[in-house]
Structures are given as C-alpha cells and as structure tokens.
Structure 1
C-alpha cells in the first residue's frame, strides 16, 4: 500500500531529527523545498553568527579581530568540519576560496606529487567544473586525460577503472556522489584500486559532505575538496573546504601561492617559503564572514550526528522512490538513481517525458526541485530540513501535474 499523508506525519513524529527543522529560517513559500542538494536553507544560528561578525567583531573590534581569532579560522573551522562529517583528523583540512579554486589547487598538487606520470583519469559526465579544470590543467602541463563514461545510474565500475589505470596515471579525480543520479561510489574501495598503480585519489565531496559519512583518513584518500552550501547549509557561495592527507603535507605544492600560505605571513620576505602545515594550501586573505557561516552551520551537523543524518537520508530517498514508482511511473517516468540505498546519496532523480515542463509546473505550484539537462528532475532531500510530510506533499503535487499533461 502506498504511503499516505497520515503515514508521513507519523514518520515525522518519530523522527529523531525533527527538532532541527526549528533551527532554520522558514517561510510560507515554498510549499515544499526539494533543492537542498543545490542550496540548503539558512540556519538561524548562521544568520546570528554572521551578524555578530559584522556588527561586533568587525564593527567594534575592527582590525583587532584578526589577533582576536580571525587569523586561525580557516584551520580551526576546517578541523571542526572534518570531525563532523569527513572522518579526518585535525591539521588536514582548511576552509578557503571556492570548490573550483580548490580543485585547481589539488589537481596541480597531485600532478606535482607524481612528476614522472603524464595521465589524469576523470569522467566526462562529471560536474562541469571538474571536467573543465582537469582539461585545462592537463593542457597546461602537456598531460593526457583518460576519460571515463560511466552509466548514469551504475556509476564508475572497477572494470572501467582498471582499463585506464597504469603506471602513467598520476591521479584519479572522481565525485563521491554523482550530481546527476546520486549514485554513491565506494570511496575506500576505489581509493585502494587507484593506489594499486601508485596513483593518487582525489575526491569531490560536494554532494556527500553533510549527508553521507566520509572516512577520508581510514580510506587512505590523498586529497579532497567540497562545497559548504548544499547539505552543510552555509549559504550561497560560502567558502569551500580542502583536504590534504597528513602524509602529503610538506610535499604538496599548490600554484596560487598567496601570502596566507607562506611560512611567516607577516615577514613580508623577498621570496616565498611555504608553510609546512595545511596552511600551505591557502592563498589570499580569509573571507571571515563566510568562514564564520560555515562554522555555525557545521555545528548543526555535529549536533545531529552524521550517522543519524545518513539514516534519515536513506529513509527519505526510499520514500521518494516508493512514491515515484507508485505515482509517476504510470505516466512514463523512471527513477534514474540506484535502487540500492547503500549506493545512493541524498537525492533521487527521475526522468520522463516533458520533464522540463513538469519541473516548471512544479515551480509554479511552489514545489521547488532542480532540473538538469536533458530530462532529469532532481529531488534533493536534506535530512535536517526536509520532513516526510513535505516530501509526500511534493510528490502528490507532482503526480497531479503529470496526470494533467
């Protein structure tokens, strides 16, 4: 029997994360928000923290706030984020710049760590930034990109990787969760496979940080990046994070050698000497309000617990798949995400006829999904903010739309 609205309400009443919905700024509009995998809702504590930075720390303390604590924010908040959801020990993660800039840094650093190798492995279906940056770094260095083309639902397979990995492979860049279908890769297994040929594993965690437990240290990952405005709810354009495994610190070099990555920021010396710590991956002056926003938002994930968040993500996506099968499949829509919840991140994708029109009609009905070309409607289910009743209502509205086409 298909889940009813009463069933969804009952699930909300038993939800251990239900109280966190009150931690977020909410409004009457929209009816349902299913795009938290692109931009999360604003946490109240984040708004308060940013106001405190602007009004008191900047407004009253002025430049003295750098010595009061701003100088160390990139590393301190990086450590808190790493502890909350990356499975990484202190001293390996910083908050800095955007995902694109950080990807540029780690791809170049990875190439330098394997100077005798001339190939990069990536997927030609990955998020555009990843593909564009790999292509430009390879071109600048005279390297070759070995492109994989994984199935949208199956994702990268061991067999596909083994076909392209060799002693020429410097690094492999993959997204932990595919931005299209939500397929979740086995990070430890893939990392081990990459290491068999002596290459480095670089992970894009944009669609997994804050919704899927990540064990970077335990898996032996080499480098990683990710954004903070999706499941981490730090706000539009919030600074990204960058991880370098302890064993690579000191040797890893990045190309944007600004003063914040130097061994002594205030020496103003004639030559650049990189800091031996994770600070070597920084560049210019830290954007304090943005990092403060990350700090406040990450505290919510730490309080809720990443394992509890994952449990609800699985339950929400299972519910979404069930309702899509019952209500949308009869009208030609199919679930374009893995059926196995252990291989699925925090969103479900459906494909079907006139999907762009359906997504537009959902917007008109104040149900906010995310559309991706050519025919994918992504339903992002953020465990801290999405209720079962909200999901049920969104799917019910969508059912009525497809029935009317």
Structure 2
C-alpha cells in the first residue's frame, strides 16, 4: 500500500482560497485557508413527465476534502464563510412515474472531510459561518401525480461540517466550530398517489462533527462548538392523498458531535454552547393511508461517544440558553396505522464502551440548560386502526453504559 496524503480545496471563487501546502514524505502538515464573502446559490427548477425522477442540488461556501493512506499526516484548516449559502430544488411531476422519486438538496457553509486508511492523522481545524443564512429547500408538486415506486425527498442545511475517519486509523487534534446565522431546511410535498415506501425529511444543524474509525484505531480529540443567537430550523410539510407506507421527519440541532471508534482507546473532550433557537415542525396530511410514521426531533447540544473496545474517556460540557421546540402534526381521514412523535432536548450526551472487551467508561459531565424546552404532538384520525402518539421534553439527559460490540 503506497503512502499518500492528498487534499483538494474547492470554493466558488479562485481568490477565496489558498492552495493546501504539504509534503507528506517530509512529515509536514498540510495547511489551507478559505474565506468566502460572496453568496453561493444552487437552483434546480424542472417540470416533467417521466418514469423516474432524480434531482440533486448542492451549494457550498468552502469545501476541503482529503485522504491519508498508510502515512502520518496533519492538517491545519481555516474556513470562514460570511456570505449566504442557498440551495433549492423545485420539482413538478406530471402524470404517472413508474420509477422512484429521488430529490436531495444540500446547503453547507463550511465543509471539511478527511478519509483515513492505516493512517495517523492530526487535525487543527477552525470553521466560522456568520453569513445571512444557510438554507436548503426541496419542493415536490404532484397533486395529480402517481409515483408508483416511492422514493424520497430530503433537504439538509448545515453551517459547519467536519467528517473524518476510516479503518486502522489514529485521529488526534482540535476542531473548533462557530456559527451565528439562520440555518433553515424545508421539504414540502404534495403528491396524489404513492403505493410504495416513501420518505420525506429535513435536517438543519449549525455545527456538526462526525468521526468514525474502525479496526485497530484510536481517537484523541477536543471538539469545541458554539452557536450564537440565531435560528436553526427544520420544517417538513407533506400531503399525500393515498399513501401506503409514508415516513416523514424533521431534525434540528445547534451543536452535534457524533464520534465512534473500534480497536483502541477513545479520548474525547467536548465543549458545546448554544444561545440560539432550535426548532422543528413536521406536518402530514393523508386522505387514505396504510402506515404513516411522523417524527420531529430538536436538540440544542448533542454528544455521542461510542467505543467498541475497552476504554472511553469523555469530558463533556454543555450549556444551552436558547429555546428548543419540536412540533409534530398529523391529520388523517381513512386508513390503518399512524405513529406520531415529538422530542425536544436541551442537552443530550451518550457514552459507551464494549462490555465483552472488559469495557471501562470514564466520564466527566457538566450540563446546564436555562432555555425553554417544548415538545408538542397533534393527531386527528377520522377512521383508523392504530394511533400511537407521544411527546417528550427534557432539559438535560445523560446515558452511559457498556454493551456488546455493535450493540
């Protein structure tokens, strides 16, 4: 396996970035500075009558992607987004579509992705998004349309994103994310007939970090995330006249740090602070339906650290002063089963290690919530077989345990 370390920078304007400089063979760290002050917009607007519909729309302010294979490497990354990022998909479906519907819309302010394989990687990453908005919208109009094979329509808006990991890898370093901007994701659909599984969803996140290392791996990371006074909102609004198997969701978070490891020790320090409003609103209406599942989830600060090996050390600090709201509304006329749920959480942390490995979980946890947390569900079913409805609102929740690998 050849030793390589490669990074590629992307931006809307050539002047918005500096080319990464590194020599992996000499052990130097790559460095990259990206600054985007203009607006970035991606738009798809189509009206069609076809058997299969596939649409993908993306807008990104700054993006840096790289990979390290069988080598030791480092990266110093500085990304600053002060413009707006907007992605929108407008899809009109006429008549009957024999194939699947696939519509995906993504808007990101700053994005950093690193894949590792048999590598030792050190990161020093800073991301800041303070523009007017990061907005993604997916709109499907088929009031007289028939989508026979089902499919999905989604929207995702994320101000700052870091994703790293791979097999047999060592990840170390610091990730620092700051956001103060409106983050909004919306999925709206009106379809006459879907006789197959169909999913409609939206997700809005201010700061997101995800790491996943497998095999003989280890992590030692400090993650700092701050979301200022702003609004992070996901909204999904769906009407299907006749739906056989329908899943609808909306998910929003101010700060997310999701880390997973196997094959070695895991040391994670997280510091999350949110002062903004975090809100989800999920709505579904059907005339005839087989099964409908509707879920709305809103969490200000969320940390998950899971190690499918012996040792986990987690030092977690979470402070939320913003309001958190989750609303789920279902209206059905005739059908069978409806499941409606809304979850709102100020601060949430989960940590676990492997019990069959003799797991050892060492936790230091501090959670403070002063914001209002509200979860609301509403279900109206004129004629049906089953209706399961629930709403959960929690200020602070912490779960720590040992489990079987993969459990």
Structure number having the greater strand percentage: 2
In the superposition, the TM-score normalised over structure 1's length comes to 0.21
- Per the normalisation by structure 2, the TM-score is 0.21
Larger relative CO (CA 8 A, sep 6+): 1 or 2?
1
